[in-house]
Amino acid sequence: MYESLLKKEKKLAVIGLGYVGLPIALEFARKISVIGFDINAERVEMMKKGVDPSDELEPEAFDGCDIEFTANLEDLKGANFFIVANY
């Protein structure tokens, strides 16, 4: 599984993009493909624009990351490995 993630043949999903989940998702997205999921669509739209709704991260934290932000549960079907970050 690890090699498939590194080769971007499989995706990781981080569920819950608060002050814990978002930094984790962005760090993983520097090396592998990530689906970042949050139930709050307004927060997701901010992250799509490179803005941390928790105001913990600088906009540069989003640079060079392979991440798809979504509030759509259906998008999680594209993931093979899941991390739940409850805040």
CATH code that applies to domain 2-84: 3.40.50.720
Question: How would you label 29-45 residue by residue, b for 16+ Cβ within 10 Å and e otherwise?
Answer: beebbbbbbbeeeebbe
Give how far the C-alpha of residue 20 lies from the chain's centroid of Cα atoms, to the nearest Å.
Answer: 11
Q: Where are the domains of the chain?
A: 2-84
* Confidence at residue 2, expressed as pLDDT on a 0 to 100 scale: 83
pTM equals: 0.93
Residue for token pair 């640079």: 63
Tens-level pLDDT at each residue, the chain (87 residues): 889 998 899 999 999 999 999 999 999 999 999 999 999 999 999 999 999 999 999 999 999 999 999 999 999 999 999 999 985
Name the CA radius of gyration of the chain, rounded: 12
